[in-house]
Amino acid sequence: MRKMLVTATMALSLGVSSLAVAEPLKIGMITTLSGGGAGLGVDTRDGFMLAIKQSGNKDVTVVTEDDAQKPELAVQIADKMIQSDNVDVLTGIVWSNLLMAVVPGAVAQGKFYVSTNAAPAALAGKGCNKLYFNSAYQNDNLHEAMGQYANKDFKKMFILAPNYPAGKDSLAGFKRYYKGEVVSEVYTKVGQTDYAAEIAQMRASGADGIFTFLPGGMGIAFMKQFAQSGVKIPVMGPGFSFSQDVLPAIGDAAIGAKASGQWVPDFDTEVSKKFVADFQKEYNRLPSIYALQAYDAAQLILSAAAKASVKDTDAFRAELLKADIKSPRGNFKFNTNQHPIQDLYITEVVKKDGVLTNKTVEKIFSDHGDAYAQDCKI
């Protein structure tokens, strides 16, 4: 009896449902497991599967496939999962252009999609859908926080992002809150790894600060080249630009960089500390923001499936909307467009016990929603 009570308490402290799902549940995870964005997808998969494992549910099956960061492949996989594998819920896509290719067809076929990361503006406003939820943020959010932070000390900013939906949303979000002068706004190719031309532009721009949104291999390449260039302008970005998955590859060049996010591994709460410890024990590394978001996506799906059949669309949706989980990030609830309302923080890259990681500097927004919810009519 004592052992049973301890087990139950541990499950509840993490927010992972200790209840069995109402009926067998099959989840289709499409994520990036190869190429320059593989680190993001691996952390997504691992964070999601940690929550599934901790739930103890034997009636939950997760089918995982690699989209190789190709929209057309992601669509093929999604159709196969829906029509042949008979999945109940889809999840896992990292990149917004892939999500935009997959979600319209998935929801048209009556399937729920719970996003672990990608959150394009087009699906948060007029293009919102009752079957589409996001467990992470809306694309603009973390960049809005950096725009607000940059107002404190920076008068002229050079801003840069890849030319795809999330990149455009990121710079739109930054500019929404930044009140200084944007001296240059540059969009690069997705997957670009040579930034010599952009760094030359930065050197000559007269900017006193640089904001970049370059996730995965793009950010690794940029930061290494920027450090070698000798340019001394401070660089900042959203949490993805300096997330745990890329810091080892960037190295000491990242130390001191400011970023923004809804969570980093130093959060001093029991739920967060246990999540970090369990992730480290399972995978022998610190979790990134992608792992956190996927962990919560799994929690959301499990919490709804414990109380309602996914085949009862209205009931399952109602349970998802409750966001009945204990997130390592702390406060979390859904906005009217089924995207998070949450706190956002400024963080700084530090080296702790020989390991590069992020520490919390200050809270920049409390209960922050997004600019598109007012256009969502579901």
Report the alpha-carbon distance of residue 31 to residue 276 in Å, rounded: 22
Place of tokens 């541990």: 10
> Rounded CA gap, 57 and 22, in Å?
11
The pLDDT of 320-327, averaged and rounded, is 96
- Write out pLDDT tens, residues 191-248: 999 999 999 999 999 999 999 999 989 999 999 999 999 999 999 999 989 999 899 9
Query: Is this model's pTM higher than 0.85 or not?
Result: yes
How large is the average pLDDT for residues 357-369? 96
Mean pLDDT of 53-78: 97
pLDDT at 22: 81
Q: Does residue 287 carry a pLDDT above 80?
A: yes
| In contact, 166 and 95? CB cutoff 8 Å | yes
Backbone torsion region of residue 251, taken as left when φ is above 0, otherwise alpha when ψ lies between -120 and 50, otherwise beta = left
DSSP-derived secondary structure letter, 56: T
pLDDT for res 245: 87
pLDDT of residue 4: 37
**pLDDT for residue 116:** 98
Q: Where are the beta strands (DSSP E) in 301-368?
A: 333-334, 340-352, 355-368
Does residue 136 have a pLDDT over 50? yes
Q: Does the pLDDT at position 15 exceed 80?
A: no
Per-residue model confidence (pLDDT) at position 36 = 87
Arithmetic mean of pLDDT over the chain = 94
Q: Taking residues 18-28, what's their average pLDDT?
A: 86
